[in-house]
């Protein structure tokens, strides 16, 4: 008793634990699929509602949000759509959205920061009007990271203030790690450092359950189909339900805002690209520990239904520069839409604070 296991026995134990863990993970994935299947059977007999929306709501062409632009990347050949506000030549602020979102989730920030920045809200690869490659291998993290680098250069910039939310936050962290010279300041909303996320989810079953959609999305075509049922009820519920949506004290989405999301994601094939982002994630895990060397602001809605707030504080150990964490107690996962005035004020404070610190 107490003696160290010989190397062969230790390897067997490690392999057995790993096998048990992934068996539990994919068993949970199967449970999610069964529940979704039952919901599907219930929904088949009900009216399907509208399937596609052909006329965009006027809010998507609101001139106060900026100008719709396109850029084609030479290496990949993909055409990216973005909305830009603010004068050309001003410092670049690049905004990366999460799932299931698109450039419009940054509407409050496009209006707010255009006075001092060239603000660009991007449609990520596979989203909205940006090209969507057919094969899921084209959505690996290294491709998504390269997209941001190439877009930055195509816009005529060599550095930016980089802001990301949710999955866009994951990409923002990795861009800051891989191309630190291109990111002057990093701001992430409701997503921890990738290493924190991968380590935490392995040790906390509660977060594994909250991230169950990562596993559900591994199935072909079925997740997309589930989103379309009952006039995209799942999509609407994500933003409006009591469990996952914007809270009572938040800035609720208007009927036109919701219609904008439904318009974009109800187009033929519009869900496959976004879900393909998740279908490649396990080929990229586990991520190695990497340090972030630029000033970093992490904003977090404490009522996030998908990410446990404990990960926010742990993120601090990976930032080897000034790190500011602000947790908003009454805010949801959709923080920049939920509490736009507070979020904008916190971003301004961080940007001006860092400018003052640099001068001193």
The encoded tokens of residue 351 equal 């940007």
| DSSP annotation of 48 | -
According to DSSP, the β-strands at 296-301 and 323-328 are parallel
User: Catalytic site residue 166?
Assistant: yes
Among 277, 278, 304, 318, which one carries the catalytic annotation? 278
Among 81, 97, 277, 333, which one carries the catalytic annotation? 333
What's the CA gap between 344 and 109, in Å, rounded? 7
Exposure class string for 122-137: b at 16+ Cβ within 10 A, else e = bbbbbbbbbbbbeebe
Per the CB < 8 A criterion, the answer to whether 81 and 124 are in contact is: no
Per the CB < 8 A criterion, the answer to whether 303 and 247 are in contact is: yes
Dihedral of CA 250/251/254/258: which sign?
Answer: negative
Per the CB < 8 A criterion, the answer to whether 260 and 57 are in contact is: yes
What's the CA gap between 33 and 122, in Å, rounded? 32
Among 166, 257, 304, 338, which one carries the catalytic annotation? 166
User: Catalytic site residue 333?
Assistant: yes
What's the CA gap between 28 and 24, in Å, rounded? 6
Q: Which residues are catalytic?
A: 166, 278, 333
């Amino acid at each position: 008793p107490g003696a160290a296991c010989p190397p062969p026995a230790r390897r067997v134990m490690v392999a057995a634990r790993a096998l048990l863990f992934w068996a539990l993970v994919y068993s949970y994935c199967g449970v999610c699929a069964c529940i979704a299947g039952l919901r599907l059977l219930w929904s088949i007999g009900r009216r399907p509602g509208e399937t596609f929306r052909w006329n965009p709501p006027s809010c998507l062409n609101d001139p106060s949000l900026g100008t719709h632009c396109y850029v084609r990347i030479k290496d990949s050949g993909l055409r990216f759509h973005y909305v830009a506000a603010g004068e050309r030549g001003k410092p670049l602020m690049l905004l990366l959205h999460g799932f299931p979102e698109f450039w419009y989730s940054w509407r409050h920030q496009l209006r707010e920061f255009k006075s001092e920045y060239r603000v660009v809200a991007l449609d990520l690869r596979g989203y909205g009007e940006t090209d969507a490659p057919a094969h899921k291998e084209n959505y690996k993290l290294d491709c998504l990271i390269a997209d941001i680098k190439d877009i930055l250069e195509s816009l005529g910039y060599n550095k930016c203030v980089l802001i990301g939310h949710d999955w866009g936050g994951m990409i923002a962290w990795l861009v800051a790690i891989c191309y630190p010279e291109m990111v002057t300041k990093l701001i992430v909303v409701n997503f921890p450092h990738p290493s924190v996320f991968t380590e935490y989810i392995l040790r906390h079953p509660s977060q594994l359950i909250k991230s169950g959609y990562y596993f559900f999305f591994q199935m072909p075509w079925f997740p997309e189909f589930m989103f379309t049922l009952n006039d995209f009820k799942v999509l609407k519920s994500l933003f409006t339900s009591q469990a996952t949506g914007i809270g009572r004290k938040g800035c609720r989405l208007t009927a036109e805002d919701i219609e904008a999301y439904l318009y974009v994601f109800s187009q033929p094939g519009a869900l496959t690209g976004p879900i393909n982002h998740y279908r490649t994630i396990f080929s990229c895990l586990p991520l190695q520990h990497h340090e972030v060397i630029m000033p970093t602001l992490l904003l977090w809605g404490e009522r996030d239904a998908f990410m446990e707030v404990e990960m926010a504080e742990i993120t601090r150990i990976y930032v080897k520069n000034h790190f500011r964490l602000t947790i908003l107690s009454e805010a949801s996962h959709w923080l920049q839409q939920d509490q736009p005035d507070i979020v904008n004020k916190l971003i301004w404070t961080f940007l001006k604070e860092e400018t003052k610190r640099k001068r001193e």
